[in-house]
Structure 1
Amino acid sequence: MEKLNSKITKKAWTMILLLFLMIGISNVEKAMIGYASVPIMDELGLSPTEWGLIGSAFYWMFAVSAIFGGSMADKMGTKHVITIIVVLWAAVQFSTMFIYSLPILLLTRIILGIAEGPSYALAMTAASKWLPKEKTGTGLSLVSIGAPVFLAVSAPICIYLITHYGWRSQFLAAGILTLIWLVLWIFFGKEKPDTVEEKQTLQVSSNTKVSFIPSLFSKNFLIVIICGFTAYWSMSVFMSWAPNYFATVLKLGNAGMSLAVTMPGILIMASQLLFSMLSDRIYRKTGSMVRSRVFVMGPVVLIGGLAYFLGSLATTPALAVTFLSLGLTMGSVILVLGPAIIVEIIHPQHHGKAQGIFVAAGSIGGMVGPYVTGVMIEGASNMGTGFHYAFYLMALILAVCGALVWMGIRTKKEKVELEAVTNLN
């Protein structure tokens, strides 16, 4: 097989850096409301139910905006749509400085959810335009890990600002940071490669209009959508409920809790980079999307399901934390290899809306997962049993998703080749 050209240009690295920063800022702006929950509730006199409303409001229009933003990017270009949504991010951060009532706070969260909805899909779409296929997995991982990196760095900074300057100060700082990024994006962000050297390793879109409907209802894309739902279910359940499980069931102390909360972020960064690099390496050698993306993601997600199952059976807190963290970690690989598969199975004219649908499906999993988990915990004979039922369910969902990917995603050409190899054996 002819060796593939895997060069990433300097402009492509600039885009990856800008998109890494964008994803990082996006996730910090999502998380800041949680850091300031106590002083905001005290100042505005909010009840737990009202605060729960604030938390859910962010997702009310999230899925719709993810699909709409992705569709607009296919028509207007990712640079223009990203510019628009980031302007909205900055406006929300600065307007939060003047919040003194529940309705206004609620409105800002709804607007931020609308503006944040397309962000991950747009970042994946924009980055994929600059990456040769055999480097797509690694490139998208480098963008994606902006989230855990920024969350780890920003948490102590935000808490310091809240403690010394009041809860509004962190929103002011975030607004200024967002504007700085926006200026860099306007000057250095590019829509797509514009030189022969930059285009030589990339797939160039045809001017002929290609219908999205056949791809939308194809088996391959439907499986990828299920993957998005699964990944966000896993992450939202872990983030919403795992700290509670560690504290109330495992009885971890402060030191143990710190380690248990920090470990998943580190493992997610490592696993996304490791498995995306492995996937890209296989792609360079075989040129096969199935062998490099599908045969890596499927087994990894299956292992994630097994890890959740073992975590619920663990007899010591250390083993429980380790296995549950591994379950989350393996499931998170979907967030980079899923978009990489979309790049392969969907025509470039529709990458934006396809990535948007992937994120929209994920947001539904993010809304449903924590609620179902809460129902299971409340309906069980005790909290420990309820948590274990929830982890069993998570194990089953990941296992089914992994099996669907491993056995179900095929291109026509590679399906014939794989069947031929099987018959020979």
Structure 2
Amino acid sequence: MNLTASGNSIEPALADDLIVSRPVSSHTRWTICALLFAATSINYMDRQVLGILAPTLQHSIGWTEAQYGYIVSAFQFAYAVGLILAGQMVDRFGTRIGYAIVMGIWSISAMAHSLAHSAFGFGVARFFLGLGESGNFPAAIKTTAEWFPQGERSLATGIFNSGTNLGAILAPAIVPWVTIRYGWRASFLITGAFSAAWIVWWLTHYRKPSDHPKVSQSELDKINSDPPQSVAKIPWSKIIGYRQTWAFSLAKFLTDPIWWFYLYWLPKFFDARFHLGLTHLGLPLIIVYNASAVGSIGGGWLPALFNRTGTSMIKARLTTMLLFACMVTPIFFASRTDSEWVAVGLLSLAAAAHQGWSANLFTTASDMFPKSAVGAVVGIGGMAGSVGGVLFSLSTGWILEITHSYSSLFGIAASAYLIALLVLRTLAPGLKKIEVPA
């Protein structure tokens, strides 16, 4: 082999060939999507454990509805703060290292719940879990922007976002069984251990597309097929000034709390309304979250379907979001039915619609911002969603303490998405991409 060398250096073009020997064809980006799916599944399984055990822990430890609201709010407050830090960290250090760090924090914190003996102890454990778990979506959305062209991003986001549903399905399938046999502390230890195993998997398999030895040239060309974007870093202080940032963030502020409400209060709703104990909660929750998995993947697929009929990708995305916003509205009647299975059906439709909405809302960040800013924007939007979650959780605790009724809460859930879509379209008409100064 002939090398053109100066000292120990090798001609750059030849060095690239030596470092990355590319296969003829590949679909490695979907393997990366599977990694993101696994991380998101673990993320939601860890956070769902407390919701499943809430009726049991409320009786054994003795916390009130308001105290439970404080515990949930501790997670969401930390999640809000952590999203800002995580988004900037991921943009600065990259997804490979950043993802491993946040996963390590939430793995330790999830298992630390097993040490709690009071409402305050659970609040502390939830706070640190929120700090760690806050990094998942900024890292996953940035990874998607790096690995997928615009036309595939909503589908990829829908697929990995459906991991929220698998995690929420696995938790009610695993936690009651483990708790009945080994106690509730073992449930936190077992579910927390999955995230530790994922870190090894991620560090072993993940590289950027240009550095990944299993990515073919044709796949790399597809990944990079979008028009060139600015790679200049945009300061957080400037990102916060864009109308697009506010549009994305307010939409998250209005709709994220509804999903938090489903995660943390559905077990309590079924227990209070239909008297379902720990041994009977699993099936209704599994049905609801299976439906939400279908909504997540379907929500990511629909814009591409509309796009193939000649509709622009932006119009296709907004049309899809309107469809899902309308699908949520029947949940208004969930607390008014005397049938457990009618309630399950209404909640399943609403959960599916939320995930379809969420997959597309996440993708609007990469529609409106260059890849270099996506992590920070998602972090800001996620912080806004968590602030909304804190306010809604505190309000939920006090509303239930006073009224003992879920009617007003489901009324808020029914209208939040249409209001959020109106805000998004008003502040960011056409999801116009920001103009980055040269």
Q: TM-score, normalised by structure 1?
A: 0.80
Provide the C-alpha distance between the structure 2 equivalents of 1:368 and 1:408, rounded to a whole number of angstroms. 23
* Structure 2 partner of 1:146: 163
Paired residue type of 2:243: K
- Taking a change above 3 Å as real, the CA distance of residues 285 and 260 of structure 1, as seen in their structure-2 partners, is same
Shift of 1:70: 0.6
* Structure 2 partner of 1:116: 133
Provide the C-alpha distance between the structure 2 equivalents of 1:377 and 1:42, rounded to a whole number of angstroms. 17
* Structure 1 partner of 2:11: none
Query: Where do residues 307-346 of structure 1 align in structure 2 (5 Å cutoff)?
Result: 307-309=330-332, 311=334, 318-346=341-369
CA contact (8 A) 1:77 1:191 kept: no
- Taking a change above 3 Å as real, the CA distance of residues 205 and 87 of structure 1, as seen in their structure-2 partners, is farther
Shift of 1:405: 4.0
Alpha-carbon deviations, 1:197-224, whole Å to 9, x = none? 3432334553444456565343333222
Provide the C-alpha distance between the structure 1 equivalents of 2:130 and 2:85, rounded to a whole number of angstroms. 13
- Taking a change above 3 Å as real, the CA distance of residues 109 and 236 of structure 1, as seen in their structure-2 partners, is closer
1:15 pairs with 28, 32, 41, which one?
32
Provide the C-alpha distance between the structure 1 equivalents of 2:407 and 2:193, rounded to a whole number of angstroms. 44
- Taking a change above 3 Å as real, the CA distance of residues 193 and 228 of structure 1, as seen in their structure-2 partners, is farther
Paired residue type of 1:371: L
Paired residue type of 2:170: V
**Stretch of structure 1 that moved more, 239-248 or 164-173:** 239-248
* 2:208 counterpart of 1:187: no
Provide the C-alpha distance between the structure 1 equivalents of 2:69 and 2:430, rounded to a whole number of angstroms. 44
1:58 pairs with 71, 75, 79, which one?
75
Provide the C-alpha distance between the structure 1 equivalents of 2:352 and 2:345, rounded to a whole number of angstroms. 10
CA contact (8 A) 2:75 2:127 kept: yes
* Structure 1 partner of 2:314: 290
Provide the C-alpha distance between the structure 1 equivalents of 2:276 and 2:49, rounded to a whole number of angstroms. 25
**Stretch of structure 1 that moved more, 176-185 or 26-35:** 26-35
Structure 2: which 5+ residue stretches go unaligned? 1-24, 434-438
Provide the C-alpha distance between the structure 1 equivalents of 2:72 and 2:336, rounded to a whole number of angstroms. 32
Tell me the secondary structure at the aligned position of residue 303 of structure 1: helix
* 2:395 counterpart of 1:388: no
Structure 1: which 5+ residue stretches go unaligned? 1-7, 415-425
* Structure 2 partner of 1:273: 297
1:403 pairs with 410, 417, 422, which one?
422
Query: Where do residues 81-100 of structure 1 align in structure 2 (5 Å cutoff)?
Result: 81-93=98-110, 95=112
Query: Where do residues 129-140 of structure 1 align in structure 2 (5 Å cutoff)?
Result: 129-140=146-157
CA contact (8 A) 1:70 1:354 kept: yes
Provide the C-alpha distance between the structure 1 equivalents of 2:327 and 2:229, rounded to a whole number of angstroms. 36
2:375 pairs with 324, 340, 352, which one?
352
How many residues were matched structurally? 401
Provide the C-alpha distance between the structure 2 equivalents of 1:373 and 1:50, rounded to a whole number of angstroms. 11
- Taking a change above 3 Å as real, the CA distance of residues 214 and 410 of structure 1, as seen in their structure-2 partners, is farther
1:200 pairs with 202, 221, 231, which one?
221
CA contact (8 A) 2:367 2:431 kept: no
* Structure 1 partner of 2:14: none
Provide the C-alpha distance between the structure 1 equivalents of 2:388 and 2:373, rounded to a whole number of angstroms. 23
Paired residue type of 2:302: L
* Structure 2 partner of 1:68: 85
Alpha-carbon deviations, 1:302-357, whole Å to 9, x = none? 3323x234556768665454334323332332321011111110121111011112
The root-mean-square deviation of aligned C-alpha atoms, in Å, is: 3.5
Q: TM-score, normalised by structure 2?
A: 0.78
Shift of 1:14: 1.8
Shift of 1:24: 1.0
Shift of 1:368: 2.0
Paired residue type of 1:200: D
* Structure 2 partner of 1:418: none
Tell me the secondary structure at the aligned position of residue 76 of structure 2: coil
CA contact (8 A) 1:299 1:406 kept: no
Provide the C-alpha distance between the structure 1 equivalents of 2:241 and 2:347, rounded to a whole number of angstroms. 34
Paired residue type of 1:123: A
* 2:246 counterpart of 1:229: no
- Taking a change above 3 Å as real, the CA distance of residues 404 and 303 of structure 1, as seen in their structure-2 partners, is farther
Provide the C-alpha distance between the structure 1 equivalents of 2:56 and 2:347, rounded to a whole number of angstroms. 32
**Stretch of structure 1 that moved more, 24-33 or 392-401:** 392-401
CA contact (8 A) 2:231 2:371 kept: no
Tell me the secondary structure at the aligned position of residue 148 of structure 2: coil
Provide the C-alpha distance between the structure 2 equivalents of 1:389 and 1:289, rounded to a whole number of angstroms. 36
CA contact (8 A) 1:62 1:363 kept: yes
* Structure 1 partner of 2:325: 301
- Taking a change above 3 Å as real, the CA distance of residues 19 and 222 of structure 1, as seen in their structure-2 partners, is same
Alpha-carbon deviations, 1:365-389, whole Å to 9, x = none? 2222233344445555xx4xx5333
CA contact (8 A) 1:302 1:403 kept: no
Paired residue type of 1:67: I
CA contact (8 A) 1:232 1:362 kept: yes
Alpha-carbon deviations, 1:13-45, whole Å to 9, x = none? 2211111111111112212344555787788x6
- Taking a change above 3 Å as real, the CA distance of residues 78 and 324 of structure 1, as seen in their structure-2 partners, is same
Shift of 1:144: 0.9
Provide the C-alpha distance between the structure 1 equivalents of 2:55 and 2:236, rounded to a whole number of angstroms. 46
Alpha-carbon deviations, 1:60-82, whole Å to 9, x = none? 32101111101111111111111
